[in-house]
């Protein structure tokens, strides 16, 4: 992670993904891509590395 600010990190990831596409045919497609990025970030954080194990 380049920054310690979580919101800034999420915004940077969204910008990176939307720059690749460039031009969206409609607002729905843009919203769909941003939603997918947010779901991916959420899943990554939920299933990330466990630094402490209870075993």
pLDDT digits (tens, 9 = 90+) for 1-54: 455 688 888 999 999 999 998 888 999 999 999 999 999 989 888 887 666 666
pTM of the model: 0.70
The Cα–Cα gap between 40 and 37 comes to: 5
Computed from CA positions of residues 48, 45, 42, 25, in that sequence, does the dihedral angle turn out positive or negative?
negative
The Cα–Cα gap between 17 and 34 comes to: 8
**Distance, C-alpha 5 to centroid of its chain:** 14
Task: Outline where 1-55 has alpha helix (H).
Answer: 6-21, 27-46
pLDDT, residue 50, reads 61
pLDDT, residue 49, reads 66
Q: Are 14 and 37 in contact (CB under 8 A)?
A: yes
């Amino acid at each position: 992670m380049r920054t310690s600010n979580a919101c800034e990190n999420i915004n940077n990831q969204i910008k990176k993904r939307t720059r690749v596409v460039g031009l969206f045919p409609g607002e729905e497609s843009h919203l769909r891509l941003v939603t997918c990025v947010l779901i991916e970030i959420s899943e990554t954080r939920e299933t990330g590395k466990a630094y402490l194990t209870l075993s």
